[in-house]
């Protein structure tokens, strides 16, 4: 069965101390609530081990290297991420693709290394505003998915969480309508079904990301193919993040 997931992406925010305090406060605020989703916090690398040991929250890195180990100054490998206690790694975020030149080929390597090290990738895909206006958004999302993921075995693919994040909606306050998001999520699930069969597709969690917040989460999460959210801005504040989690 696919899981409902709400994952926060802190991006490059919070000092180590602020991050640990935030994580403890989030855990305390969630204690005693009956959650209908798994909660993940996506922290900068340096916070991972501390947050994983200070709380029972599920922790995700926001990136990992496309090489296993060696002379790659400044990089952090999938094995290192796994050694912190993190269970997930966000890969292919549009900010990584556009600011750091991460191509489908690079992401394919990162996905393989993440899986080899027991991490579940939260794999981000999504079109730009121009691509949607040109009506090529389905083609873009399909090629991002196929190029980076479709050489995986069905067993490995079943460890992937997909995050559909229209680039025009990330950090802009412009959320996709629930109809736009549902349409794309259904398309992604159909694309997965064509390759891996209906059972694998039905069991894949597909999250929506892009200016999701406490005001729109309930409507988005009520769509049949939306299994949760990858949340940037609204995950940085406990009071804003809880209503998103309670969107389920």
Residues contributing to the site for ligand PEP (CB under 6 A) = 9, 11, 93, 165, 170-171, 209-212, 230-234
**Catalytic hit among 38, 102, 131, 165:** 165
Is 91 within 8 Å of 120 (Cβ atoms)? no
Question: Least distance in Å: CB of 174 to ligand PEP?
Answer: 9
Nearest to 63, CA basis, from 13, 117, 110: 110
Q: Does 165 participate in catalysis according to the annotation?
A: yes
Closest CB to ligand PEP among 9 and 145?
Answer: 9
Closest CB to ligand PEP among 93 and 137?
Answer: 93
Closest CB to ligand PEP among 85 and 214?
Answer: 214
Give the CA angle between residues 149, 150, 154 to the nearest 5°: 100
Is 110 within 8 Å of 64 (Cβ atoms)? yes
* Count of residues in the chain: 248
State both tokens at 58: 């599920």
Closest CB to ligand PEP among 62 and 145?
Answer: 62
Kind of pairing between the strands at 120-125 and 88-91: parallel
Q: Does 27 participate in catalysis according to the annotation?
A: no
Question: Least distance in Å: CB of 70 to ligand PEP?
Answer: 30
User: Cα separation of 210 and 132, whole Å?
Assistant: 15
User: Cα separation of 217 and 145, whole Å?
Assistant: 24
Q: How many CA atoms lie within 13 A of 30 on its CB side?
A: 25
Question: Least distance in Å: CB of 95 to ligand PEP?
Answer: 7
Q: What is the largest CA-CA distance in the chain?
A: 48
Closest CB to ligand PEP among 209 and 228?
Answer: 209
Expressed in percent and rounded to 5, the helix, strand and coil fractions of the chain are 45, 15, 40
**Catalytic hit among 47, 93, 137, 185:** 93
Question: Least distance in Å: CB of 199 to ligand PEP?
Answer: 28
Question: Least distance in Å: CB of 233 to ligand PEP?
Answer: 3
Closest CB to ligand PEP among 145 and 211?
Answer: 211
User: Cα separation of 67 and 113, whole Å?
Assistant: 8
Question: Least distance in Å: CB of 230 to ligand PEP?
Answer: 5
Q: Give, as one character, the DSSP assignment of residue 37.
A: S
Q: Is 141 helix (H, G, I), strand (E, B) or coil?
A: helix
Enumerate the active-site residues: 93, 165
């Amino acid at each position: 069965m696919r899981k409902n997931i709400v994952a926060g992406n802190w991006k490059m925010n919070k000092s180590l101390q602020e991050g640990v305090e935030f994580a403890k406060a989030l855990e305390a605020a969630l204690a005693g609530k009956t959650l209908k989703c798994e909660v993940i916090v996506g922290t900068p690398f340096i916070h991972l081990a501390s947050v994983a040991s200070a709380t029972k929250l599920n922790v995700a890195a926001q990136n990992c290297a496309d090489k296993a180990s060696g002379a790659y100054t400044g990089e952090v490998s999938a094995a290192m991420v796994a050694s912190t206690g993190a269970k997930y790694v966000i890969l292919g975020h549009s900010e990584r693709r556009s600011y750091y030149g991460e191509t489908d080929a690079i992401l394919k390597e990162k996905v393989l290394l993440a899986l080899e090290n027991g991490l579940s990738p939260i794999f981000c895909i999504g079109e730009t505003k121009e691509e949607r206006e040109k009506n090529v958004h389905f083609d873009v999302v399909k090629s991002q998915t196929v190029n980076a993921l479709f050489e995986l075995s069905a067993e490995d693919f079943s460890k992937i969480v997909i995050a559909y994040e229209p680039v025009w909606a990330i950090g802009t306050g412009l959320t996709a309508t629930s109809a736009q998001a549902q349409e794309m999520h259904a398309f992604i699930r159909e694309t997965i079904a064509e390759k891996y069969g209906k059972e694998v597709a039905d069991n894949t969690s597909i999250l929506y990301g892009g200016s999701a917040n406490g005001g729109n989460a309930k409507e988005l999460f009520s769509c049949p193919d939306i299994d949760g959210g990858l949340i940037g801005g609204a995950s940085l504040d406990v009071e804003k993040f809880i209503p998103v989690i309670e969107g389920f």
